[in-house]
Chain A
């Protein structure tokens, strides 16, 4: 009779601790690690940025126009835009579910739209590849549509900083 009040809280605390542990454990154990995928897609974005940078420097006038270098960079872009990167975007690797990304969950809600935007990027990269070697004015004119194709995805599916 006497011991009851002292034992009960102890048992209660033990049960609570066990429950907390079982709740906490699976959560952290189940959390998938998307680090490789997120690193890979950021690397892909860096490859885009590097090659667009070659073209952008010429468009801005901070580098002299070089038809061969421009064509190379633009062809790289067209190749990148055709890379099948679907394995880099597993479900759940969005910025509500995991760290280190600004990709919004909406991206996974409308894959048809994402693919359409991807196709538009390939189209803009092709147009750049056709233009880049044909003089600075042609290169400059192709920068806008290329940027628009990048922004289309970043507007819809990337969280602002």
Chain B
């Protein structure tokens, strides 16, 4: 009897140890990833070029203050954070990414920014939530990250502390994000096949920097993008209405129509952009016209998807 009990306890302990080992292995395999220490060595950042990356990547759209006045060119450069982004997993708050050394990213290196954008890993080695669209930024070039870094460091400092995300169990366990990343974070293009130079530039702007798919592509139950329904539209989290389907199946605008929309926000019917898209247009309008033309050319090359899967 005693022996049997002992054997049972030993078996249980072995099983527990095995499970713990598996969990440890899983954590080890999905721990926050980082680039080698010399990944950004020798890449000189150009702040002037970085301004264009900043506008194309739409950093201000999420990181400017919630009460920043519309179209105020100075307010959009004060990256105090604080805007709320509701999701099925909780409400995320954009952090302060001004160059303030305490409240913002003033102590970051270019490598820190690269690790954040490419791996969703903080300088302290924690996982970021994918509300920060590193699943798109993973495709950004190192040169563009270096330029963006140089530009960000020229912006005004803001001492507003970052606010906590409002995320409930189990999504508040950041270690779990490693598994999410293993499933859904990978570099590479969605739109493949032969593209013109203009379309390829548009793809880089849309898929890497502009992160169009983060809103316009439907997500699965775990919050991963359904790449086979790329840009086919999705419900607006925490709101009514939908992010529209912008594949050629539903959006039949000409290239000139699209360029006008990206410049002034006017649709072919001369309605105007609303919701968060109004902010996106403000960013796109600052890009050189050829970039807006490239985005338009890319959108026309996307696979038509008549209906987003529910």
Residues of chain A having any CB pair with chain B under 8 Å: 45, 48-50, 52-53, 56, 59-62, 117, 120, 143-148, 150-152, 154-156, 158-161
Are A144 and B264 in contact, with the CB atoms below 8 A? yes
Are B240 and A159 in contact, with the CB atoms below 8 A? yes
Q: Is B213 an interface residue (CB 8 A)?
A: no
B residues 59-87 in Cβ contact with A at 8 Å = 70-71
Are A49 and B70 in contact, with the CB atoms below 8 A? no
Are A151 and B281 in contact, with the CB atoms below 8 A? yes
CA distance A150 to B264 in the complex (A): 10
Are B270 and A155 in contact, with the CB atoms below 8 A? no
Stretch at the interface among B35-43, B147-155, B193-201, B272-280: B272-280
Are A143 and B70 in contact, with the CB atoms below 8 A? no
A152 contacts which of B71, B243, B269 (Cβ < 8 Å)?
B71
Are B278 and A143 in contact, with the CB atoms below 8 A? no
Are B256 and A147 in contact, with the CB atoms below 8 A? no
B264 contacts which of A45, A61, A62, A143 (Cβ < 8 Å)?
A143
Question: Closest residue to A59 on the B side, CB-wise?
Answer: B260
Q: List 7 A-B contacts (CB under 8 A).
A: A50-B270, A59-B260, A60-B259, A120-B70, A148-B264, A152-B278, A154-B273
Interface centre among B242, B243, B256 (most CB of A within 10 A): B256
CA distance A156 to B239 in the complex (A): 13
Question: Closest residue to B289 on the A side, CB-wise?
Answer: A140
By a CB distance below 8 angstroms, the chain A residues around B242 are 160-161
Q: Is B248 an interface residue (CB 8 A)?
A: no
Residues of chain B having any CB pair with chain A under 8 Å: 70-71, 236, 239-244, 256-257, 259-260, 263-266, 269-276, 278-279, 281-282, 285
By a CB distance below 8 angstroms, the chain B residues around A60 are 256-257, 259-260
Nearest chain A CB to B269's CB is how many angstroms away? 6
Are A160 and B239 in contact, with the CB atoms below 8 A? yes
Are B269 and A49 in contact, with the CB atoms below 8 A? yes
By a CB distance below 8 angstroms, the chain A residues around B282 are 148, 151
Are A154 and B241 in contact, with the CB atoms below 8 A? no
By a CB distance below 8 angstroms, the chain B residues around A147 are 263-266, 272-273, 281
Interface centre among B71, B266, B285 (most CB of A within 10 A): B266
By a CB distance below 8 angstroms, the chain B residues around A150 are 265-266, 272
- Given the interface contacts A60-B256, A62-B256, does A143 sit within 8 Å of B244 by beta carbon? no
CA distance A160 to B233 in the complex (A): 13
- Given the interface contacts A147-B264, A155-B278, does A160 sit within 8 Å of B257 by beta carbon? no
Question: Closest residue to A161 on the B side, CB-wise?
Answer: B241
- Given the interface contacts A144-B285, A148-B265, A152-B70, does A53 sit within 8 Å of B270 by beta carbon? yes
Question: Closest residue to B240 on the A side, CB-wise?
Answer: A159
- Given the interface contacts A148-B71, A152-B70, A161-B244, does A49 sit within 8 Å of B260 by beta carbon? no
Interface centre among A45, A48, A148 (most CB of B within 10 A): A148
- Given the interface contacts A148-B70, A152-B70, does A160 sit within 8 Å of B274 by beta carbon? yes
Nearest chain B CB to A147's CB is how many angstroms away? 3
Nearest chain A CB to B248's CB is how many angstroms away? 19
- Given the interface contacts A144-B285, A160-B241, A161-B244, does A151 sit within 8 Å of B265 by beta carbon? yes
Nearest chain B CB to A57's CB is how many angstroms away? 9
- Given the interface contacts A143-B263, A160-B240, A160-B242, does A151 sit within 8 Å of B273 by beta carbon? yes
A154 contacts which of B243, B256, B274 (Cβ < 8 Å)?
B274
CA distance A148 to B270 in the complex (A): 13
Q: A147-B273, A148-B265 are in contact. List 6 more A-B contacts (CB 8 A).
A: A50-B270, A143-B263, A147-B265, A151-B272, A154-B278, A160-B236
By a CB distance below 8 angstroms, the chain B residues around A145 are 71
B263 contacts which of A120, A144, A152 (Cβ < 8 Å)?
A144
Are B278 and A151 in contact, with the CB atoms below 8 A? yes
CA distance A59 to B242 in the complex (A): 29
The 10 nearest A-B residue pairs measured at CB:
A147-B264, A154-B274, A160-B241, A150-B272, A155-B278, A151-B278, A49-B270, A147-B265, A143-B264, A152-B70
Are B263 and A155 in contact, with the CB atoms below 8 A? no
CA distance A133 to B275 in the complex (A): 32
B274 contacts which of A45, A56, A62, A151 (Cβ < 8 Å)?
A151
CA distance A48 to B270 in the complex (A): 8
Question: Closest residue to B263 on the A side, CB-wise?
Answer: A144
Question: Closest residue to A117 on the B side, CB-wise?
Answer: B70
